[in-house]
Amino acid sequence: MQKSRKLIALMICLFFVVALAGNFGAVAHAENKTKYDIGTDTTFAPFEFEDVDGKFVGIDMDLLAAIAKDQNFEYTIKPLGFNAAVQALETNQVDGVIAGMSITDERKQKFDFSEPYFDSGVVMAVRKDNDTIKRYEDLKGQRVAVKTGTEGYTFAESIKDKYGFTMVPFDDSSQMYDEVKTGNSVACFDDFPVLAYGVTQNNGLKLVTDKEKGGSYGFAVNKGNNQELLEKFNAGLVNLRNSGEYDKIMSKYLGESGKGVAPVERSRWELISASLPALIKGMGNTLLYTLVSLLIAFLLGLVFGFMKVSHNKVLRGIATVFVDVFRGIPLIVLAFFIYFGIPQALDFKMPLFVAAVLTLSLNAGAYVTEIIRGGIQSIDPGQMEAARSLGLPYRMAMLKIILPQAVKIMIPSFINQLVITLKDTSILSVIGLVELTQSGKIIIARTFQSFDIWLVVAIMYLIVITILTKISNRLEGRVRRG
């Protein structure tokens, strides 16, 4: 009974540590109201993308920097991806969003927008060597790629029944372009300045239709929140237009003909060399999140693993629920729930690091629990009975006799879980975690060189996982011999 109380107390302490961490972040934010968290996309050139030095640049980024300087406020950029940025704004994880976000009546119900800072439009593009698709009528019976949450998506949806094509949605522009370049879809719709810029950067596509009249982009805050920030943005935008700074920023990326930035010609090796620092940093983040998460998962696994083999029905029931819940929820759903759902329900800001580690730890912890439970129960029950008959307490018999044998059986499963968790970090790019996979996406958004970058990313994963597996196998061999 005393053991049960200690375990329950430990769980309660862990819960309060997480809650206090979130509340501390909220308090710190409240004390410094002139510094804002701004969410943005990661792959929407020329409005926001990462340059070769790892800095986020583009029309939106330059506008925000100039307005912040003009209005004397500070901000931190949260590169989340468009869909995640919008969800973060809904749940008050960020104070505002600037991401080429079209002002629509539907979005006005949830968000307050600034005055428009850019008038856009929609255009269709096909693969550079495609001479058969020239107009909407040619799309009948074909697949067309679109990016979710954009004007291109809305426009394609409005005409798909009329022209008889099927929409294939993607979360970022580079994936959409690759879909067309590989021939899986014959065309794509996107905002005119984005597609026009991509064509000048040799993205492998060409424009085949005139620009359709589109909406306007605006800076967004949550409905009724951060009105001071919104007023500063509007005031700064007026000053930039009056001073000519706004026109300079537009010319820098679009020019008079929409070709403001010349493409950088690089050989394959030059591209890889320039991309390696960002990819290595991404791999470092991957390893950090993996190791921290696995350490916590191991502790959770020990607690709930012992609870699952306990003679106490209540403890076994709690452990069973833990395993069923966190092993049954898909990792991506768990990530959204922890990072967006819980902060919205409890009204606090959760740091991305905490959300990512919690997601990976709870998911891996459920599997580690079953590994430990299986290892312990694989030992002949007669050994525990023999130990108890000789007068050894249950805890001593478990630590001295059962566990040493069970660990040898568990090691291969632990190694497998290490590899799985390392690869699972890539899924957390959906909430803005910049690990190896997300680093690759960001580079591709700038260079449009999918094959080279994904090849390097795959090799890096292979090398690291192979090294970790070899080290783990050597450790397993020593334990078995010991």
Q: What CATH code is carried by the domain that includes residue 468?
A: 1.10.3720.10
In whole angstroms, how far apart are CA 130 and each of 133, 188, 201? 7, 13, 18
- Residue 151: predicted pLDDT: 84
Residue 73 pLDDT class (50, 70, 90 cuts) = very high
Tens-digit pLDDT profile for residues 147-178: 887 888 989 999 999 999 999 998 878 889 88
377 assigned to some structural domain:
yes
Same domain, 158 and 92: no
Q: What is the Cα 4 distance to its own chain's centre? A: 38
Per the CB < 8 A criterion, the answer to whether 102 and 121 are in contact is: no
- Residue 15: predicted pLDDT: 42
259 assigned to some structural domain:
no
Q: Which of 160-164, 257-261, 467-471 is predicted most confidently?
A: 160-164
Q: What is the Cα 409 distance to its own chain's centre? A: 35
439 assigned to some structural domain:
yes
In whole angstroms, how far apart are CA 309 and each of 148, 186, 362, 367, 412? 47, 57, 19, 15, 21
Whether 29 shows a pLDDT value over 60: the answer reads no
In whole angstroms, how far apart are CA 134 and each of 88, 109, 113, 161, 214? 39, 37, 36, 18, 20
Report the percent of the chain where pLDDT is more than 70: 90
Helices and strands of the chain, counted as H and E runs? 19, 13
Q: What is the Cα 263 distance to its own chain's centre? A: 28
Tens-digit pLDDT profile for residues 292-349: 999 999 999 989 998 988 888 899 999 999 999 999 999 999 999 999 889 888 888 8
CA distance 435 to 432: 9
Q: What token pair was written down for 326?
A: 């966190």
Q: Which domain holds residue 181?
A: 119-216
Whether 289 shows a pLDDT value over 80: the answer reads yes
Same domain, 132 and 178: yes
Same domain, 79 and 160: no
Which phi and psi (to 5°) does residue 110 adopt?
A: -110, -30
Mean pLDDT of 57-64: 93
Query: pTM of the full predicted structure?
Result: 0.72
Residue 185 pLDDT class (50, 70, 90 cuts) = very high
- The number of domains in the chain is 3
Per the CB < 8 A criterion, the answer to whether 103 and 218 are in contact is: yes
349 assigned to some structural domain:
yes
Which H or E element spans position 217?
strand 212-217
Mean pLDDT of 458-463: 94
193 or 188, which is more confident = 188
Whether 223 shows a pLDDT value over 80: the answer reads yes
165 assigned to some structural domain:
yes
Same domain, 203 and 242: no
Whether 259 shows a pLDDT value over 60: the answer reads no
Q: Which of 50-64, 119-133, 395-409 is predicted most confidently?
A: 119-133
Same domain, 176 and 318: no
Residue 264 pLDDT class (50, 70, 90 cuts) = low
Same domain, 160 and 193: yes
CA distance 183 to 194: 21
- Residue 34: predicted pLDDT: 76
Asked if the peptide bond before residue 351 counts as cis, ω within 30 degrees of 0, the response is no
Residue 28 pLDDT class (50, 70, 90 cuts) = very low
Nearest Cα to Cα of residue 77 among 443, 62, 91, 274: 62
Residue 442 pLDDT class (50, 70, 90 cuts) = confident
Q: What token pair was written down for 255?
A: 């020019």
Mean pLDDT of 418-444: 87
10 assigned to some structural domain:
no
Tens-digit pLDDT profile for residues 3-26: 444 444 444 444 444 444 444 444
In whole angstroms, how far apart are CA 282 and each of 77, 90, 140, 340? 18, 28, 42, 23
- Residue 262: predicted pLDDT: 52
- Residue 20: predicted pLDDT: 41
Report the largest interatomic distance among the alpha carbons of the chain, rounded to a whole angstrom.
90
Same domain, 85 and 164: no
Nearest Cα to Cα of residue 78 among 328, 324, 458, 438: 438
Q: What CATH code is carried by the domain that includes residue 111?
A: 3.40.190.10
228 assigned to some structural domain:
yes
Nearest Cα to Cα of residue 159 among 175, 173, 139, 180: 139
